[in-house]
Amino acid sequence: MEQHTQGSILPVKTIAVLCGMVTVAVIMSFGFKEEIIADRHTRQGMEKDSAASVAAFMDVYKVLMSPRCMNCHPAGDVPLQGDDSHIHSMLPQRGKEGKGVYAMKCSNCHQKENLEGPNKPPGHPDWHLPPASAKMVFQGKTPEQLARQLVNPKTNGNKSLQQLIEHADDGLVKVGWNMGEGRTPPPISHAEFKKAWITWIENGAFAPKGK
Amino acid sequence: MITLNINKKTYNVDVDPNTPLLWVLRDTLGLVGTKYGCGIAQCGACTIHLDGNAVRSCVMPVSAVGSKKVTTIEGLSEKGEHPVQKAWLEHDVAQCGYCQSGQIMSVAVLLRENKAPTDADIDAAMSGNICRCGTYLRVRSAIHAAAELQRKKA
């Protein structure tokens, strides 16, 4: 009888312990989620400032949607060209790696440096579009859509926030401000862009709502 | 003096480093199979191979060639026996013929990378080679034929 009683009590204790463990695990998992989100929105102990972040992003957005950036982040698989962002003549295709296909690779015409003369192909040693696996489309995106896309590793080429910050100094990004004769540069300088880019990210990388 | 490796031969040329490779080929070395069409990499008439890539020689400064191997239409095959050249003749592709060397050099790259191209593959590969006579349908037929010749040869 005594044994029977003990036998019936043990499962109750076990269940109680298990419940407690599950509760702790649930609380911890929520805690970690909050931490990950917090980590996403803060950097080096900075407080989140959504207003500053969104304001900075609007400057970033103007640059990213300028022809010098957007032309190589098209909605389709053919780059755009010129200040009016028309479809690139010759219809070069993106290709798997973003570097063109067969006899139509970007580097067949785009040299390591800009060529002299108006509207000659601009140059960089690694001229390319985003790859087919992560097209990183800018064309047609609202500020909210673009901001969300930029911070999501699934849609930004698997970049962390730190890598995003470093990307502001990427050689191909900086070429946007040195595109050769006949092309209007982005609306603000690279230094101003970089400042806005970092301000946006370090203040939480907020997406402007409804814009 | 700039040293160039063209069609498996070594050349030393005394030219301005900014001179486009096309003009070194044509004016300095007399390799006139490669044509001048637009001078801004838009038409494809000046296409040559640089380490196997179909490069536009009209916009490539000769100083950028370095030790890379240049192949022009004159060096694509010894006696015109490249499958693309054979198919070109069989299908009587050329009309005025001005764009043909560039077309053939681009096709050679396509068929090296894709042994059995579809029409869509051909369009993607050849959209940068303009033919003012509009021989595009014959170009496409000849590419399919060249692919077939290449497969038989292999």
Q: What is the ipTM of this complex?
A: 0.91
What number of C-beta contacts closer than 8 Å exist between A and B? Answer: 71
Instruction: Grade residue A22 by pLDDT with cuts at 50, 70 and 90.
Output: low
Instruction: Grade residue A11 by pLDDT with cuts at 50, 70 and 90.
Output: low
- The sign of the CA dihedral A89, A94, A98, A99 is negative
Residue A3 confidence (pLDDT) above 60: no
Query: How do beta strands B47-50 and B9-13 pair?
Result: unpaired
How far does B128 lie from chain A, in Å, by closest CA? Answer: 5
Inter-chain residue contact B106 with A111, CB threshold 8 Å: no
pLDDT average, residue stretch A56-68: 98
Residue B111 confidence (pLDDT) above 90: yes
pLDDT average, residue stretch B74-80: 96
pLDDT average, residue stretch A98-111: 96
Interface of B with A in 71-100 (CB under 8 A): none
pLDDT value of residue A115 = 87
pLDDT value of residue A34 = 31
Which residue on chain B is closest to A115 by alpha carbon?
Answer: B59
pLDDT average, residue stretch A15-26: 53
Inter-chain residue contact A108 with B55, CB threshold 8 Å: yes
Residues 6+ apart with CB under 8 A from A67: A80, A82, A83, A84, A85, A183, A184
**Of B10, B5, B99, B91, nearest to B52 (Cα)?**
B5
Residue B57: its chain A contacts at CB < 8 A? Answer: none
Q: What is the DSSP string of chain A?
A: -HHHHHHHHHHHHHHHHHHHHHHHHHHHHHHHHHHHHHHHH-STTPPP-HHHHHHHHHHHHHHHTSHHHHTTS-SSSS-EETTTTEEPTT-----TTSSEETTEEHHHHS-SSPPSSTTPPP--TT--PPPTT-----TT--HHHHHHHHH-TTTTTS--HHHHHHHTT-HHHHGGG---TT-PPPSS-HHHHHHHHHHHHHTT-PPPTT-
pLDDT value of residue A46 = 57
Inter-chain residue contact B105 with A103, CB threshold 8 Å: yes
pLDDT value of residue B121 = 97
pLDDT value of residue B19 = 96
C-alpha A77/C-alpha B82 separation (Å) is 32
Inter-chain residue contact B106 with A105, CB threshold 8 Å: no
Domain ranges of chain B: 2-75, 83-153
pLDDT average, residue stretch B92-100: 97
Tell me the average pLDDT of chain A: 84
Q: What is the pTM of this model?
A: 0.82
The domain covering B2-75 belongs, at the CATH homologous superfamily level, to: Beta-grasp domain (3.10.20.30)
Query: How do beta strands B9-13 and B2-6 pair?
Result: antiparallel
Q: What are phi and psi of A151, to 5 degrees?
A: -95, -10
- Percent of chain B surpassing pLDDT 90: 99
C-alpha B154/C-alpha B151 separation (Å) is 5
pLDDT value of residue A49 = 86
> Comparing A47 with A64, which gets the higher pLDDT?
A64
- The sign of the CA dihedral A145, A150, A154, A160 is negative
Tell me the average pLDDT of chain B: 97
Residue A78 confidence (pLDDT) above 90: yes
pLDDT value of residue A210 = 79
pLDDT value of residue A116 = 82
Q: Which residue out of B38, B59, B71 would a mutagenesis test of the A interface target, given it has the greatest number of A Cβ atoms within 10 Å?
A: B59
Angle of helix B100-113 relative to helix B83-90, nearest 10 degrees? 130
Please give the CATH number for the structural domain made up of B83-153: 1.10.150.120
Residue A170 confidence (pLDDT) above 50: yes
Instruction: Grade residue A30 by pLDDT with cuts at 50, 70 and 90.
Output: very low
Lowest mean pLDDT among A35-44, B53-62, B126-135: A35-44
Residue among B54, B55, B124 whose CB faces A93 most closely: B124
